[in-house]
A and B are shown apart, each in its own frame.
Chain A
Amino acid sequence: MKSVPRSPSDSLTGQVVITGLGAVCSLGNSLREICLGLSTGESGIGGTPDLEAGAFGCPAARVNDPPVIKTDIHPLLAKTMGKHLTLLLASTGQALTDAGIGPGDFIPEDMGFFAGMGMVDYHLEDLLPAVVKSLGQNGDLDYDRFFSAGYREIYPLWPLGMLNNVAFCQAAIHFGLRGENSIFTPHGDAGIRAVAEAVRVLGEGQAKVALAGGVSEEISLLSLARARLKGLVGPRQGTSENSRAQGASVFLGECGAMLVLETPGNAAARSAGVLARIVGFGFSCHRDQKTGPASTAAIRHAMERALDDAGIGPEKIDVVILGGCGQNESQAVEKTFGVRLPVVVSTAGIFGETFAAGPILNAALGLKISHWAELPQDIYLLGDRAPADIPKTALILVNGISYEGMSSSMIIEKAAGRTL
């Protein structure tokens, strides 16, 4: 065991650092692949042919060839967890490796685990056989037949497909994580909330290391239908190459992204390289009554609170990474940062709406930005500073926006030493 004794001096919120990153999305199965894809202008967007593209006509940024992580769970149980499990296992495993943490390095109860989990959806094939078995001659449901026998065709474990925590618990089993934990759902704000809770737990000395991040929805018939009916996604013609660059349209994306967090003292004691320091959070909730998502006021309030929490003014921020591509957020950024905008980027046009995973992937990419000689055109939006002027110890503000009114912001300060 390499466990480090707890020290009261570590118990300060804001004194938490990132020592590991892991991510999987449509552009690649690791951060390295994702960054490479970005810098070469690749696109992770594809159609949804296996989900009847003719009906939905939606582009999507799916993880088509996810890493295979061997677990010892029964295949039927794994099926109920869907791609959530794959994305969570892959990103968590990468983050632990990146942080240099192996099995047995910490006792399980000292390892916290916090995640924002995108919506899970039940599987139609678990339910519909009961309907098929109960249809009358005219094609209508024979309720007597359904309630007397048809219901037995329902797959017994179908309710697990309704629980966002099952894949999370399986990941806890896989990596032996027994410490403080919680799950939030389902949008971008949930990913940042997970990091904030991990930071608090570390600050209070209730864990020595914590994993925190998020997982998107699995793109399925139900997730596409939900997004279509909500008006989040449109048909393929609405997503031209130009509009991608401007982030003007939304499509769903799959992603898992995780951070390893610990106190600087803990990181130093085990000689772990520090990638960044987490310096502030802000949260608010106010729904835009016309459009549903967080209002301009809510987004602005979350950013201002994060700045207050970090004890800095807006002029200190070097990079803002938007949570989405909505007008409310653009207006909030303009109001918060005034006439001299930092470098403002959005990855929504590349990765799609990746819900709880989005801000975590963005935070990881934010740490990479200062190392790029030139920002990929597809993510750079605007700013009064040249991207080339971003310092090596950039202060990066990342937003996580919910479609139900919640807004969150997180500020990280890139460490000078270690590079991705």
Chain B
Amino acid sequence: MARNGKRVVVTGCGMITPLGKDSRETFANAQNGISGIDFLRSFETEGLPCRIGGQVEDAWLKAAPETGLQGIEKCSSRGLKIMLSAASEAVEMARLDSVENRDRVGVSLGYHGENPSVDDMLMLYRYSGGKDLWDIQGLSAHGVYSFFNFFRRKPDVATSILSILFNCKGSAFTTVSACAAGAQAIGEAFGIIREGRADAMIAGGCESNLNFAGFVGFVLIRALAERYSSPEKASRPFDRKRNGFVMSEGAGALVLESLDHALERNAPILAEVLGYGSSADAFRITDIHPKGDGAVLAMQGAMNDAGVAAEDIEYINAHGTSTLQNDQIETLAIRRVFGDLARKVPVSSNKSMIGHTIAAAGAIEAGLTIMGINNSVLLPTINYEFADPKCDLDYVPNRARVVEHRIALSNSFGFGGQNACLCFGKFLQ
């Protein structure tokens, strides 16, 4: 259905989230309206106004494929380790190992690298002397703040390692558009395959900000939910009592492939990528455009790209962060795009159960959107208890709904004003 070039399909889907170790477990728990949010255990939170988050269990992480290469483990950030689990699931599902021409298999990753730890800060203090002086010899000799710390910070190291581990020798790149990065990574991969520059791409996003330095930045700018009766009640997109987002970690990966290539090797086809739109608010770094202009452009762009009209869209997986500003403006943007149809299109936010996984969010939500289409299930927005007059759409409140649907949008809006929207459809031969 895409207007130009090759048709692109999804042949693999993987994820690891606070709700589950893989896509099946995440989807099942989301279908049951379970929250993955809890008190944080990975660092000391006493005294902080927000002490909750969505953590991935260490026991769920899969070991990296054996390569015999030194340094991969040491260069691997937690975000990458999480991504390896998601990508492994997607690659296995797509049977991507069977593809012989690895020069036409690529990797597209949304990721921002690892934050410095408190011990890193101390090390930097010691060797920088707290001034513009730095004892590089001492720093190197100490060996604690090593080469590897710098490289866990670099987003493209994760992409490179994924390329090595999954033997992908085609296009490999890293997108860095904050909360839109995962969706943009998928959108860019879609474009590259459609244009014929690759046969298949592993595309997705990962993030792990549940460390003190990463977390406290968001605490200090008061972006996180601070008023909650219990952790699982804190993320409440579109609810009148929402008061900030809940930080989580996770990863999502899709294997995208040209339809011809997938059919030729008899790969499982989960869905078709119909369209992709991106836009910039070009308004203000710290605020969303008040009329949702950027969100409108991204949704319209994806629909135009897919060649579908508003009446064709049967579900919207919302960005839905549980912040006052986002949820109200996203609602307004949906109303602007869909007009009178807006109240008839079910809209839900996976972040009510998973929290906000930043660069991973768009990829995880893309995967759940596809699973919803294939299982005829609309995942719920949990913790929807108090109606907000400014948020007046059908948010699939609290309980999943069994509804057959074929075409859906998945929204992702990034800090700074970058927006992305993906359009997926049930695969029809």
Which residues does A use to contact B, with CB under 8 Å?
A: 11, 13, 50-52, 55-56, 73, 77, 108-109, 113, 117, 119, 122, 124, 127-128, 130-132, 141, 143, 146-148, 151-152, 154, 156-160, 162-166, 168-170, 172-173, 175-187, 189-190, 193, 197, 200-201, 203-206, 221-222, 225-226, 228-230, 281, 283-287, 289, 298, 301, 402, 404-406
> Is B139's beta carbon under 8 Å from chain A?
yes
> Is B112's beta carbon under 8 Å from chain A?
yes
> Is B281's beta carbon under 8 Å from chain A?
yes
Are A204's CB and B4's CB within 8 A?
A: yes
Could you jot down 22 A-B contacts, CB within 8 Å?
A51-B134, A128-B125, A147-B47, A151-B212, A166-B415, A169-B282, A173-B281, A173-B285, A177-B280, A178-B294, A178-B297, A180-B278, A185-B155, A190-B173, A200-B191, A204-B5, A226-B150, A228-B136, A285-B163, A285-B169, A287-B163, A301-B169
Taking CB atoms and an 8 Å cut-off, the chain B residues in 126-159 that contact chain A are 128, 130, 132-137, 139-140, 146-147, 150-151, 154-157, 159
Are B156's CB and A180's CB within 8 A?
A: no
Are B150's CB and A298's CB within 8 A?
A: no
Name the residue of chain A whose CB is nearest to the CB of B105: A285
- A197 touching B191 in the complex, CB below 8 Å, given contacts A148-B47, A159-B217, A404-B160: yes
Which B residues are CB-close (under 8 A) to A162?
Answer: 112-113, 115
Cβ proximity bits B156-185 to A, threshold 8 Å, 1 near / 0 not: 110110011000111111111110000010
Are B173's CB and A130's CB within 8 A?
A: no
**Closest CB of chain A to B323's CB: distance in Å?**
16
Bound-complex Cα distance A115 to B294 (A):
19
**Closest CB of chain A to B150's CB: distance in Å?**
4
> Is B293's beta carbon under 8 Å from chain A?
yes
Which A residues are CB-close (under 8 A) to B192?
Answer: 200
- A229 touching B164 in the complex, CB below 8 Å, given contacts A159-B218, A284-B170: no
Are A52's CB and B134's CB within 8 A?
A: yes
Are B221's CB and A157's CB within 8 A?
A: yes
> Is B244's beta carbon under 8 Å from chain A?
no
Are B172's CB and A169's CB within 8 A?
A: no
Cβ 8 A contact of B213, one of A109, A119, A127: A127
The 5 closest A-B pairs by CB, nearest first: A169-B416, A156-B220, A159-B217, A285-B172, A404-B160
> Is B369's beta carbon under 8 Å from chain A?
no
> Is B59's beta carbon under 8 Å from chain A?
no
- A404 touching B156 in the complex, CB below 8 Å, given contacts A228-B136, A285-B168: yes
Chain A binding surface SS class: helix
> Is B292's beta carbon under 8 Å from chain A?
no
Are A206's CB and B301's CB within 8 A?
A: yes
Given contacts A169-B417, A183-B175, A298-B169, 7 further A-B contacts (CB under 8 A): A56-B134, A56-B136, A143-B118, A173-B282, A178-B279, A178-B281, A283-B170
> Is B39's beta carbon under 8 Å from chain A?
no
Are A187's CB and B156's CB within 8 A?
A: yes
Bound-complex Cα distance A130 to B279 (A):
38
Name the residue of chain B whose CB is nearest to the CB of A49: B132
Are B170's CB and A179's CB within 8 A?
A: no
User: How many residue pairs between the two chains, A and B, have CB atoms under 8 Å in the bound complex?
Assistant: 243
> Is B403's beta carbon under 8 Å from chain A?
no
> Is B35's beta carbon under 8 Å from chain A?
no
Name the residue of chain A whose CB is nearest to the CB of B3: A204
Bound-complex Cα distance A298 to B103 (A):
9
**Closest CB of chain A to B327's CB: distance in Å?**
21
Taking CB atoms and an 8 Å cut-off, the chain B residues in 280-328 that contact chain A are 280-286, 293-294, 297, 301, 305
> Is B124's beta carbon under 8 Å from chain A?
yes
Cβ 8 A contact of B173, one of A175, A289, A406: A406
**Closest CB of chain B to A73's CB: distance in Å?**
7
Cβ proximity bits B401-421 to A, threshold 8 Å, 1 near / 0 not: 000000000000011111000
Are A405's CB and B124's CB within 8 A?
A: no
Which A residues are CB-close (under 8 A) to B47?
Answer: 147-148
Bound-complex Cα distance A205 to B4 (A):
10
Bound-complex Cα distance A177 to B282 (A):
6
Cβ 8 A contact of A225, one of B112, B136, B188, B293: B136
Name the residue of chain A whose CB is nearest to the CB of B70: A289
> Is B34's beta carbon under 8 Å from chain A?
no
Bound-complex Cα distance A406 to B168 (A):
11
Which A residues are CB-close (under 8 A) to B174?
Answer: 184-186, 190
Bound-complex Cα distance A13 to B195 (A):
8
Are A119's CB and B154's CB within 8 A?
A: yes
> Is B69's beta carbon under 8 Å from chain A?
yes
Which A residues are CB-close (under 8 A) to B160?
Answer: 285, 287, 402, 404-406
Bound-complex Cα distance A132 to B131 (A):
11
Are B417's CB and A173's CB within 8 A?
A: yes
**Closest CB of chain A to B41's CB: distance in Å?**
15
Cβ 8 A contact of B220, one of A131, A154, A284: A154
Bound-complex Cα distance A113 to B125 (A):
38
Q: Which of B130, B214, B280 has the most CB of A within 10 A?
A: B280
Taking CB atoms and an 8 Å cut-off, the chain B residues in 221-274 that contact chain A are 221
Are A77's CB and B156's CB within 8 A?
A: no
Are A181's CB and B280's CB within 8 A?
A: yes
> Is B83's beta carbon under 8 Å from chain A?
no
Bound-complex Cα distance A109 to B419 (A):
12
> Is B121's beta carbon under 8 Å from chain A?
yes
Cβ 8 A contact of A176, one of B112, B139, B191, B282: B282
Are A163's CB and B132's CB within 8 A?
A: no
> Is B367's beta carbon under 8 Å from chain A?
no
Are A406's CB and B134's CB within 8 A?
A: no
> Is B216's beta carbon under 8 Å from chain A?
yes
Which A residues are CB-close (under 8 A) to B154?
Answer: 119, 186, 226, 404
Which A residues are CB-close (under 8 A) to B305?
Answer: 204, 206
- A169 touching B301 in the complex, CB below 8 Å, given contacts A128-B124, A283-B170, A285-B171: no
Are B118's CB and A141's CB within 8 A?
A: yes
- A178 touching B280 in the complex, CB below 8 Å, given contacts A132-B125, A151-B216, A204-B4: yes
Cβ 8 A contact of A406, one of B5, B130, B156, B221: B156
Are B150's CB and A225's CB within 8 A?
A: yes
Bound-complex Cα distance A176 to B130 (A):
40
**Closest CB of chain B to A202's CB: distance in Å?**
12
Bound-complex Cα distance A405 to B197 (A):
18
Name the residue of chain B whose CB is nearest to the CB of A194: B173
Bound-complex Cα distance A146 to B214 (A):
15
Bound-complex Cα distance A203 to B118 (A):
48
Which B residues are CB-close (under 8 A) to A108?
Answer: 282
Which A residues are CB-close (under 8 A) to B216?
Answer: 151, 154
Cβ 8 A contact of B279, one of A119, A179, A193, A402: A179
Are B416's CB and A165's CB within 8 A?
A: yes
Bound-complex Cα distance A301 to B277 (A):
31
Are A109's CB and B134's CB within 8 A?
A: no
Bound-complex Cα distance A130 to B125 (A):
10
> Is B36's beta carbon under 8 Å from chain A?
no
Bound-complex Cα distance A158 to B277 (A):
30
Cβ 8 A contact of A169, one of B46, B195, B280: B280
Bound-complex Cα distance A283 to B294 (A):
31
> Is B19's beta carbon under 8 Å from chain A?
no
